[in-house]
């Protein structure tokens, strides 16, 4: 069980810098795409290695919940108010958390992190090359390593 908890802690710590990088790349990609679409307008670009064009697509989407409820409430005022009241009612959701952490004075080893990285499909060589930079960023972004962390492992409504 100890080795499974070590892997959970290693993955949790590696998730921090990877998630941060993912969010940054996602934001910049969306901004870049918007800027390029604006520059292109209705034109097309055909370069030596790349191409780009903007195309409008009409797609049918399911009606949004709020829109459907508002329309239902207009059509059936009596039942609409009942439905709106039911939605507004609060209910207690119980969450089950798994708390985990490293005991005071103990640390995860480089090999613990390498094993966690390899479990994602990376080779040992690539894992060892990525580890120093990932752990440096993780330490900058993470809370104190002595602090306990948790993961929601279940949710259920309480009556």
- Which tens digit of pLDDT belongs to each residue from 34-80? 999 999 998 999 889 999 999 887 777 777 888 888 899 999 999 98
Q: Does pTM top 0.85 for this prediction?
A: no
In which element (H, E) is residue 95 found?
strand 93-100
Q: Quick one: pLDDT at residue 64?
A: 85
- Which of the 8 DSSP states describes residue 119? T
Q: Where do the structural domains in the chain lie, given as residue ranges?
A: 1-10+93-159
Distance in angstroms (rounded) separating the CA atoms of residues 158 and 92: 6
Those residues with Cβ within 8 angstroms of residue 120's Cβ, 6 or more apart along the chain or in another chain? none
pLDDT for 156: 66
Report residue 128's pLDDT band, with 50, 70 and 90 as the boundaries.
very high
Q: Can you spell out the DSSP letters for 20-31?
A: HHHHHHHHHHHH
């Amino acid at each position: 069980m100890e080795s499974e908890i070590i892997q959970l802690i290693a993955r949790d710590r590696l998730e921090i810098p990877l998630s941060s990088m993912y969010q940054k790349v996602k934001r910049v990609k969306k901004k870049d795409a918007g800027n390029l679409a604006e520059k292109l307008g209705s034109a097309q670009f055909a370069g030596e290695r790349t191409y780009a064009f903007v195309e409008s697509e009409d797609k049918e989407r399911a009606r949004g919940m709020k829109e459907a409820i508002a329309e239902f409430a207009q059509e059936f005022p009596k039942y609409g108010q009942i439905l709106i009241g039911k939605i507004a009612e609060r209910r207690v959701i119980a969450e089950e958390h798994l708390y985990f952490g490293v005991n005071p004075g103990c640390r995860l080893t480089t090999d613990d992190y390498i094993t966690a990285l390899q479990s994602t499909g990376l080779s040992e060589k690539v894992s060892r090359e990525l580890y120093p930079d990932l752990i440096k960023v993780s330490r900058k972004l993470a809370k104190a390593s002595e602090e306990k962390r948790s993961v929601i492992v279940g949710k259920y409504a309480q009556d």
